[in-house]
Amino acid sequence: MDRLGASRWLGKDLTRLDSVGSTNQVLRERMRQEEVPAGAAVVAGRQTAGRGRMGRAWWSPPDQGLYVSVLLYPPPLRQGGILSLLAGVALTDAVRTLTGLSPGLKWPNDAVMGGRKYAGILVEGGTDPRPWAIVGMGINVRGTVPEEFPQATTISQQAGREIDREGLWGTLAPALEAWYERWESEGNAPVAEAWRRASVTLGQEVEAWAASGRITGIAEDIAEDGALLIRQGSRCIPVISGEVSLRLANGGYAPES
Ligand code: BTN
């Protein structure tokens, strides 16, 4: 679902900042002060207090990454985990279009290439004054990652040439818009299907830490709401959120392809 060309509404209200605490936080604070249109985006070249999943910090060095947050007003009861899968699918399309490579997705929302993570997605949401979601994406775009971070990479490192952050945003915004509109009109199924095609998680032996504790088994599928279904003998346990690591024979972070 590659859509080249400009987006129509996503990113039209665009705030560009050289350096910021957290792009998610900038949008959140603006929402407290005024009515912010759907698709409003904040793009920064550096974050000093970038936030990751599970309360972690997101290392956001200057010159290397694209740090972007987009405000959406999803239909009530329809957001859940699927929005972060949707963002991953859109990012995968954009990176494929730009590089010709085949990026993968590791459940729930790590974007991977060459067995390493090049981007993470953090979706924050609420219902006041109406259902909202901020999709935050931290994408390692330029340069190379030092050897001491063997689980991380950049798009440029994988492509073997410098990828430009503007070009990535110009491709990502229409891809995200197209997938969001498709989700609004067709529901979760096409997103789940595209996610499955890009998945590096399904079919692997995994270890998950969910609210109920540690679960190990084979990652069999995702449910249509985005939950990971882990096979344990005759039972399939849905994991809605949490941390999942792949138990690969080579001890790597993700499969190479
Ligand atoms: C992860 O833990 O993998 C998700 C990381 C998400 C980081 C992005 S960078 C842009 C946006 N602003 C933040 O503070 N976090 C997200």
3-state SS assignment for residue 100 = coil
What pLDDT sits at residue 1? 46
| Pocket lining: 112 vs ligand 1, CB cutoff 6 Å | no
Q: Which residues in the chain land under pLDDT 50?
A: 1-3
What pLDDT sits at residue 194? 97
Residues in the chain: 257
Cβ neighbours for 43, distance < 8 A, ≥ 6 positions apart: 14, 15, 16, 17, 23, 66, 67, 68, 169
Q: Closest Cα to residue 256, out of 162, 161, 141, 116?
A: 116
Cβ neighbours for 235, distance < 8 A, ≥ 6 positions apart: none
What pLDDT sits at residue 175? 98
The strand order across the sheet containing 41-44 reads 14-17, 41-44, 65-72, 132-140, 116-126, 110-113, 104-106
What pLDDT sits at residue 231? 95
What pLDDT sits at residue 77? 65
- In the chain, CATH 3.30.930.10 sits at 14-198
Q: Is 247 a catalytic residue?
A: yes
Out of 3.10.20.30, 3.40.50.2300, 2.30.30.100, 3.40.50.720, the CATH code matching 205-246 is: 2.30.30.100
Q: Count other C-beta atoms under 10 Å from residue 39's C-beta.
A: 21
Question: Could you tell me the distance, in angstroms and rounded to a whole number, from the CA of residue 62 to the centre of ligand 1?
Answer: 15
pLDDT tens digits, one per residue of 160-189: 999 999 999 999 999 999 999 999 999 999
- Nearest ligand 1 atom to the CA of 138 is 9
| Pocket lining: 134 vs ligand 1, CB cutoff 6 Å | no
| Pocket lining: 88 vs ligand 1, CB cutoff 6 Å | no
Question: Could you tell me the distance, in angstroms and rounded to a whole number, from the CA of residue 136 to the centre of ligand 1?
Answer: 5
Rounded Cα distance, 46 and 17, in Å? 8
pLDDT tens digits, one per residue of 126-156: 988 899 999 999 999 999 998 888 999 999 9
- In the chain, CATH 2.30.30.100 sits at 205-246
Question: Could you tell me the distance, in angstroms and rounded to a whole number, from the CA of residue 44 to the centre of ligand 1?
Answer: 12
Contact (Cβ atoms closer than 8 angstroms) between residue 239 and residue 228: yes
Rounded Cα distance, 172 and 24, in Å? 17
| Pocket lining: 22 vs ligand 1, CB cutoff 6 Å | yes
CATH number of this structure's domain 14-198: 3.30.930.10
Pairing mode, strands 41-44 and 14-17: parallel
| Pocket lining: 121 vs ligand 1, CB cutoff 6 Å | yes
Question: Could you tell me the distance, in angstroms and rounded to a whole number, from the CA of residue 129 to the centre of ligand 1?
Answer: 24
| Pocket lining: 108 vs ligand 1, CB cutoff 6 Å | no
Bridge partners (DSSP) of residue 40 are: none
Q: Is 197 a catalytic residue?
A: no
What pLDDT sits at residue 31? 97
3-state SS assignment for residue 156 = helix
Q: Is 106 a catalytic residue?
A: no
What pLDDT sits at residue 101? 97
Contact (Cβ atoms closer than 8 angstroms) between residue 132 and residue 71: yes
